[in-house]
Amino acid sequence: MRYTTAGESHGPEEIAIIEGIPAGLTLRQADIDSELARRQKAYGRGARQQIEHDQVTFLAGVRHQKTLGSPIALNVHNRDHQNWHTIMAANTPATAENTLRKVIRPRPGHADLVGGIKYRHRDLRNVLERSSARETTMRVAVGAVAKRLLATIGVDVHGFVVNIGPAKSDLSQLTQYADLDALRQVTEHFPTRALDAVADAAMRQVIDETKQAGNTVGGQVQVMATGLPVGLGSYVSADEKLDAKIARAIVGINAFKGVQFGGGFDTAEKYGADLMDEIYWSAERGFYRGSNHLGGFEGGMTTGEPIVVRAVVKPIPTLYRPMQSVDITTHQDHRAAIERSDTTAVVAAAVIAEAMVAIELAKAVLDKFDADNIDRMQEQVAAYRAEVRHF
């Protein structure tokens, strides 16, 4: 399985093409639109979300709500393009009129300056239009397809918010949920995707105060996945380690600056006897672990325990009280450009991170259980699970 995306933030469309999805997978527009709505329904978002109402269109690879086994092409229309069609025109040369929104004062922390230098763009809009997080719309769409595939073998994936600034969810509450669906019912109820009402109120207060100050705020998100077969990924080569692939996918999301599995950085303060997940066996479960400090991975492979991934999201670099910058034309000091933006991306980032984890898990499943048809893939997974239980 592989995919690619295309599209600019204020261009006409966001586009994705996915290859390697088996034929016969049930796939409906509603499956994807519901995930796109989750991405948009996030406390702290800006005015752009009042314009866009993202809905996907299948352009290829799906017929009568079933995948064909051929490449799947998807697009989402950018409604805001109608306000930018002259500025973002592809078939007319640059003029004084269509470069009115030219960007020449790069924002600290954004791709503006380095991207302009690398690609020799004298209008930094050519950088920010693609480096914008609007592109993650299609990653969420691809993730929705991946989640549909994973669901056919009993794998569930869910993301929520750990903290926004100093306001934190009470992670000790995780143990009270029987499964991820029960957890989902709680976190999706809160506008901040927090774990509890107290944390949700505190997070909203932080966001409101930050917005009033013309600032932005970051935080952390956590993604969990359950129902995975043992042995996805491999120890034999560094580039086959599944946790490494997930780490790369997470840090590849706009504004993500760190990732950990299980106990993560806290394990640096532990002793081995307090950290390793001891191994047990029962006739009903086969091999299992008595704990999950390592977050579902050993040697770059899934252990069968829940995957636990936590990631850090930096504050958005577009500030309504802009920071020191330099005009790239005159080289004179100037305040950075202001673009329409959010106060925080953390709430939406939980959905995007969830999508990226799902994509990497789906890739790993298809690497191990390669099949042209979804029924054959399910048969392979079932046979392998039976083999593992009797190991």
139 annotated binding-site participant: no
d(CA 210, CA 43) in angstroms, rounded, equals 12
Instruction: Return the CA Rg of the chain.
Output: 22
CA dihedral sign of residues 92, 55, 16, 120: positive
130 annotated binding-site participant: yes
237 annotated binding-site participant: no
Q: Per DSSP, what are the bridge partners of residue 17?
A: 4, 73
d(CA 356, CA 344) in angstroms, rounded, equals 19
45 annotated binding-site participant: yes
316 annotated binding-site participant: yes
315 annotated binding-site participant: yes
318 annotated binding-site participant: yes
Q: Are 53 and 33 in contact (CB under 8 A)?
A: no
11 annotated binding-site participant: no
28 annotated binding-site participant: no
314 annotated binding-site participant: yes
340 annotated binding-site participant: yes
d(CA 272, CA 269) in angstroms, rounded, equals 10
299 annotated binding-site participant: yes
191 annotated binding-site participant: no
Strand order in the sheet with 56-60: 2-6, 13-19, 72-77, 56-60
d(CA 134, CA 61) in angstroms, rounded, equals 24
Burial label, 8 (beta-carbon count in 10 A; 0-12, 13-18, 19+): buried
Q: Could you tell me how far CA 137 lies from the centroid of its own chain?
A: 9
310 annotated binding-site participant: no
Element (H, E) at 340: none
Known binding site for FMN: residues? 130-132, 254-255, 299, 314-318, 340
- Known binding positions for NADP(+): 39, 45
Q: Which residues define the annotated binding site?
A: 39, 45, 130-132, 254-255, 299, 314-318, 340
